[in-house]
Structure 1
């Protein structure tokens, strides 16, 4: 390398070092501020709510979400939004996602009440219990009660009972299972039926078979039917009912068999 080239290289290095020293001092003394990259927080302008709503309103969803969407597009806590919507009594499932550049999209599926659970709650066909504010509009649904955490099993039993009663054009209004496992049902006519803890469906079917050979006024006069007997049942009659001579309405065995064959041939 020539002497001229060597001198040029040395001078260049000295100048670079001098600029570095001056720059460092300027920054440390505050004359020059380091470049900082700040994230721009885009505002959320729209909250889109989708779904078929019969009991839940979009305004109800937007009201609970308002504090959560006041942040920016990137700062919004999607998990918090999901959890908040999911806690609304009528919400079955919910999905949440961002829509660029300024929207949040929320898809909601509503719960469908299948029956009432106790006095204050509803239950879906899958056995999900929830408690909305107003139950008045669901007063015609069947009322179901049972042991805690056994609602799915109780609901399946109730469905079988409803089917058996519907075959006789009877409507189930109440079904309960107590802590000892005893069943009790109440029909739309007001009739209460005690089924006990053993072979309940078999006993119910046996009672329903007798309805075909009883007079309607005799059935209507029943207040409580106790099926907790191995081979029959006891009846409590409504007040004012005349004493019934059971010998006049005894059911011959061949009539019961004929009724059973008629049911099987349907």
Structure 2
């Protein structure tokens, strides 16, 4: 009886033994796998040596790499209508600034230099890797002379080219420079009014007192300061009614009257001045 009791106390379940064996095996496999992932000392040293070698190669090659990336400028591309400008002029102005390498170019300064050229209205400059610069220009569009030495653009901007001899056939506008835009607008309005009549504006002047006068061929027309459009329309009616047939005999037309005009005829016509004619 006592032997059976001792056996029952010391005996273990087969399932419990198997579970313990599995846990022990799992722990051993984890420990073993950790040992297998740990690199030998010589491999760690080799990795460090390779990394240092690559870093040294990068440091040594950096100047060469930068020189290759940051190349000197070898080409300038200029896009423009070249109606009044020439490519050689543009390149000559930019040449001192092209000594810098690609990434060292001062694009704002280059743009400022271009905008100082009389014929340049708008300018843009940009890099084009690896070794070129692209320049885009918009030229001024002159429509008249401004005084004796200047030109004025279609937007009323006064500029001064080196030589305006080629523009001697253009009409001459005059006035205070701050009134250039207004003078240009008045010129366009009068020209549009005269064009159907076959007349071409030769000069237009705005005086310091804001009085306006212009010449059409050999005839001077004074429209004064006020009610300019009304007086211009009166001039058109007068031209068709009385002046067109004898236009070569007319010297001056003064429209500074309430409802009429004064016409000065040439001496050869034998006709007296007409003042205050109702029109």
Fold similarity call, TM over 0.5: yes
Deviations 1:192-236 (A, max 9, x none): 011111112212211221222226453221111111121222222
Q: Which has the higher helix share?
A: 2
Cα displacement (A) at 1:50: 1.2
* Partner Cα separation in structure 1 for residue 237 and residue 119 of structure 2: 41
Q: Residues 99 and 81 of structure 1: is their aligned pair in 2 closer, same or farther, counting only changes over 3 Å? A: same
Other structure's SS at 1:167 match: helix
Query: Which range moved further: 50-59 or 236-245?
Result: 236-245
**Among 186, 193, 204, the residue aligned to 1:164:** 193
* Partner Cα separation in structure 2 for residue 207 and residue 128 of structure 1: 29
> Are residues 1:148 and 2:177 paired?
yes
Q: Residues 151 and 195 of structure 1: is their aligned pair in 2 closer, same or farther, counting only changes over 3 Å? A: same
Query: Match of 2:75?
Result: 46
Cα displacement (A) at 1:237: 2.2
Other structure's SS at 2:151 match: strand
> Are residues 1:56 and 2:56 paired?
no
> Are residues 1:99 and 2:132 paired?
no
Matches within 5 A, 1:1-266: 38=63, 39-40=66-67, 41-187=70-216, 189-214=217-242, 216-244=244-272
For the pair shown, the structure with the greater C-alpha radius of gyration is: 2
Deviations 1:80-116 (A, max 9, x none): 1111111111111111111111111111111111222
Give the alignment's TM-score, normalised by structure 1. Answer: 0.74
* Partner Cα separation in structure 1 for residue 241 and residue 94 of structure 2: 62
* Partner Cα separation in structure 2 for residue 208 and residue 97 of structure 1: 52
* Partner Cα separation in structure 1 for residue 107 and residue 243 of structure 2: 64
Cα displacement (A) at 1:244: 4.8
Give the alignment's TM-score, normalised by structure 2. Answer: 0.71
* Partner Cα separation in structure 1 for residue 125 and residue 191 of structure 2: 39
Q: Extract unaligned runs of 5+ from structure 2.
A: 1-58
* Partner Cα separation in structure 2 for residue 179 and residue 245 of structure 1: 28
Other structure's SS at 1:154 match: helix
Other structure's SS at 2:240 match: helix
Deviations 1:152-201 (A, max 9, x none): 222112211111111322111111111111000001x2100111111122
Query: What stretches of structure 1 move > 3 A for 4+ residues in a row?
Result: 35-39
Q: Extract unaligned runs of 5+ from structure 1.
A: 1-34, 257-266
Query: Match of 1:15?
Result: none
* Partner Cα separation in structure 1 for residue 241 and residue 256 of structure 2: 21
Q: Cα RMSD between the aligned structures?
A: 2.3
